[in-house]
Chain A
Amino acid sequence: MNLHSLRRPLLAAAAAVAVGLGAVGCSAANDSSSGQQVTINWYVQPLNSTSIWQDLVAAFNKSHPNIKVNLTVGPTNVDTVRGTLSTELGSGSATPDVYEGDVTWPAQFAKAGLALDLTKEFPASFWNRFSPGAVKLAQYNGESYSVPSWTEAAFMYYRKDLLEQAGLPVPTTWEELVADAKKIQATGAVKDGYTWQGAGYEGLTCVYSELVADAGGSIVSGDYTKATLNTAAGTKALDFLKGTIASGVSPNATPTFQEPQSLNDFTAGNALFMRNWSYAWAITQDPSQSKVVGKVGMAPLPTFAGQPEPGASTNGGGGMFINPHSKYVKQDVEFLTWLTDTDAQSMFASVGKVLPANVQAQTPQAQQEVGPVGQVLAKLKIVGRPVGTPAYSQVSRAVFQNVNSALSGNASESQALSAADSQVASALGSQ
């Protein structure tokens, strides 16, 4: 059975309601108007306070009189967006035609039939405009489901004024970071040494998987058959995170911190180091929101002593998907080709202040426009999350819930890791 075959009885029931209520003036569903101009609906998430989406639409509509892009900006919470999009797309709706999704979505959306297989829609050469890593992240079973649009990665933010004052170099290992933090905390210049995201949510999976990678491990095996958390690397990563809280380097409330709380701690001038995404740069430099304007530096995240530098950084950012029921796939493709070409991509840098996904658009000028993010980005060691499984959301939940339990002292490290291991295994096994 198919949801479409359900439509008729539901329609009858719904029509009966309409009659029962004496409703009048039912607006007709406006189906495809086969005029000259085609309207495609584009659904995105708010990126930041810039007008990037509106500007892109205006630019496209101006240069493409035969296609009109109609923009809808959804809620900020990525899981809320997933919920409403899956309802809409799962019902077979033809709109939105093109939608923005998270980098963790391609496998899940592909398997659930919510995303069009783009491999045949675009010429093979199209994908050369992105980094091979970004293309691979957007694939499931070797087929592409998402067009990378802008990228985002995790950085270490530091108070360059305080480090200079103390005559300390920017730390490259976690051990140095902790030692520097204790030194400067002891002077009373800052309350907290290092602020990061320890709440039970997706961000903690990112933090934790970076440290596991630094310790030479991973969350799941490369072929997605085994959970590999309850290992030496998994334990070392958790030890480190717990240690930062226990030693007072990170605030007590870290197990409740998401990005805004960490950023708040840092922009209030309370913290020496912060792990955060590139978006945070602009806020640290905005006098209406920050007390540390001009005192901040950015660097790659550290790694454990004895490991090759730098430490691992998780990547994020947005990709564009095409609705498998879109009536205008040809126009969708034309739009996405334009969106990822250098002109539009340089707008992501100049207007949106985020890094474009097109490597040719990652010019020195673009790097200048997005701030130090641009210069540091090239030095990062990007380590993706295990998003190749459709069960990624369950895998990630198993990680962040159990790591959070251990961080807040409600489970021992070994209990937490073995629970996480078995939950990850059952999530992988269910696919």
Chain B
Amino acid sequence: MTSHFPTSRRRARTREGLAANTVGIAIAVIFMVPVLWLAISAFKPVSALGDFPPELLPIPATLANFDAAFGPSDFGSFLMNSVIVGILSTVIVVCLGLPAAYGLSRTSMRGRAATLTGLLVISVFPVIATIPPLYVSLRALGWLNSYEALVLPYVAFNLPLAIWTMRNSLLSISHQMEEAAEVDGASTMRTIVQIIVPQALPGIFVAAVLTFVACWQEFLMALSFNSNPTYQTAPVGIALFGGAFQLPYGTIFAASLVALLPILVLVIALRRWVVGGLSTGSVKG
């Protein structure tokens, strides 16, 4: 189905779009102010971090904080581990969560309400309290100090939200194409992959981003399950900066600034796919 808008309405849409673009960019700028302050501070010498009034630009700029973060403590390898753990967990969450979301939204499976409620209850329970027992099981498996020590709990703890978000976007997809595919004798998996996934991309994207970011930030499990630096992630790396009674803002900010880059790369890499996916989702038929 192709839409043909009368010109006047198209013009109204354009005006609205322009206003939205302006406001949208303004919002992004406001949200970026603290990030900019982090970036500016990361390039200041340590002795200037406590100045009042503060210098608004890092002049003279220094890379000393970056040296401190990446020189002795090799923050790069922590970042690499975060990327590996984050991507593995996200892929598994989407692969397991999407079929589950499908089952919970587009089949007449029994106990859907109870299952979704159960998933919710699980996400309520304070994660802190589950760490000691999880530690015991991971040790029994010999999985401490490994990527799977983090991937496994991250998958389990992020599946509920991912299933919920993907289910929401599946609910609003038309059943016609699916039924047609079924009549044509397509298998369930094939129907999901070829018909559902393209339409559900916005929801899948949201679920994937939420999962990746949650893994990216997680600290307590990462610290408790992997004491070997070979497998430690970025939040743990940052917690190792400094010494007794020291709070090295400069080093922390420099490391965190670099830690933002993978997220940006991810978003930029996904952008075309995402925007494509989003428009596929919005133009039905």
Contact = CB atoms under 8 A, between A and B. Distances in A.
B242 interface: yes
B136 A74 contact: no
Contact of B227 (A7, A72, A76, A260): A72
A10 interface: yes
B53 interface: no
Contact of A91 (B139, B148, B239): B139
A28 to B, nearest CB: 6
A66 interface: no
B247 A258 contact: yes
A28 B135 CA distance: 16
B245 A84 contact: no
Contacts of B236: 75
Interface string A280-316: 1001000111110000000000000000000000001
A343 to B, nearest CB: 23
B141 A11 contact: yes
B240 to A, nearest CB: 5
Interface string B117-158: 000000000000001110111111111001010001000000
B172 to A, nearest CB: 31
Interface string B177-199: 00000000000000000000000
A431 interface: no
Contacts of B227: 43, 72, 74, 84, 88, 96
A76 B47 contact: no
Contact of B136 (A45, A76, A91): A91
* Size class of the contact patch on chain A: 35 or more
Contacts, number: 124
B132 A87 contact: yes
Nearest to B245: A259
A202 to B, nearest CB: 11
Given A84-B223, A259-B245, A7 B136 contact: yes
A407 B81 CA distance: 44
Contacts of A29: 139, 142
Contact of B132 (A13, A73, A90, A267): A90
Nearest to A47: B243
Contacts of B240: 46, 73-76
Interface in B74-99: 92
Contacts of B229: 72
Given A26-B142, A27-B146, A290 B47 contact: yes
A285 to B, nearest CB: 13
B176 to A, nearest CB: 35
B137 A48 contact: no
B47 A260 contact: no
Interface string B233-263: 0001001111111110000000000000000
B244 A76 contact: yes
A78 B241 CA distance: 13
Nearest to B249: A260
A20 B51 CA distance: 57
Given A75-B236, A87-B131, A7 B140 contact: yes
Contacts of A73: 240
B47 A279 contact: no
Contact of A93 (B46, B139, B239, B245): B139
A91 B132 contact: yes
Ranked 10 nearest A-B pairs via Cβ: A29-B142, A260-B247, A259-B245, A75-B239, A10-B137, A264-B50, A48-B243, A11-B140, A14-B137, A14-B141
Given A23-B148, A258-B245, A263-B245, 4 more contacts: A18-B141, A26-B143, A76-B246, A279-B244
Interface of A: 3, 6-7, 10-11, 13-15, 17-18, 21, 23, 26-29, 43, 45-49, 72-78, 80, 83-84, 87-88, 90-91, 93, 96, 152, 258-260, 263-265, 267-268, 276-277, 279-280, 283, 287-291, 316
